[in-house]
Amino acid sequence: MVKNLKSIIIIAMIALITICGATSCKSSKGLSKKEYKARVEQATKDLNAILNNETEWTLEEQQARVNEIKETDFSKKNPEIVEMIERAEAKIANEMAERDRLAQEQQLREQEEQRLRELEEQAKPKTGLANYFTMIANAKDTETANRAIKEALELFESPDAVVLIRLNNYGDYDRPTTAANYLNYLKDQKRVNVSVDNVKYNEENKITELELIKK
């Protein structure tokens, strides 16, 4: 009985190995001549299309097709297909690397252009503010001053954006105020005795905090 049990186990193991090998190994076995011929023709056609840039597939789709072709073992009967596979994979790898390089360069260019735009935009409000301060303080009438205040407030994130006034170089500050309050203060005082010292912006290049220093 023990011998019979051992025999059954050995037979089962052999069957399992045979089944695993048949399902996992790349091979042309099990294909009819017609099926194998069709695979050869389609693989040759697709590989030529990839190598000659005659396909609209993406690089990822091309690689997926090559991987699919590799599932059939052409090495014995059609070594030229194996050589085409190697060339196609090398071509795809080079094109992917070049694509990634160009994408990185484009990203760096866009980042640099964005940085320059931000610098340009940041420079504009600083100059504009000084002009608006003068326009508001020297306005010929209240209507003109209010119009300048309305335009100046468009430079800020909100009318409540913080305005700090530094009294000296020793770190002494006046009581914090808001953009709207300070611009109206200039309208009433009719003079400008500060200069722009520091400006903070949000992602939309709107002023979130303004620091002035008394002249």
* 136-160 pLDDT per residue, tens: 999 999 999 999 999 999 999 999 9
In a domain, 110, yes or no: no
Report the domain count for the chain: 1
* Encoded tokens for 41: 């023709």
Residue 171: pLDDT band with limits 50, 70, 90:
confident
148 lies in some domain: yes
In a domain, 127, yes or no: yes
162 and 178 in contact (C-beta within 8 Å)?
Answer: yes
* 37 lies in some domain: no
What CA–CA distance (Å, rounded) separates 26 from 48? 22
Residue 16 lies in a domain: no
Write out the residue range of the structural domain in which residue 201 sits.
Answer: 122-214
Q: Distance between CA atoms of 196 and 166, rounded to whole angstroms?
A: 10
pLDDT 10s digits, 92-143: 999 999 999 999 999 999 999 999 988 887 776 555 888 999 999 999 999 9
List the beta strands (DSSP E) in the chain: 162-166, 177-178, 194-201, 207-214
Q: Is residue 189 part of a domain?
A: yes
Q: Is the residue at 126 inside a domain?
A: yes
Provide the pairing of β-strand 194-201 with 207-214. Answer: antiparallel
Whether residue 10 lies inside any domain: the answer is: no
- Residue range 48-80, pLDDT digits in tens: 999 999 999 999 999 999 999 999 999 999 999
CB proximity list for 205: less than 8 A, separation 6 or greater: 118, 121, 122, 125
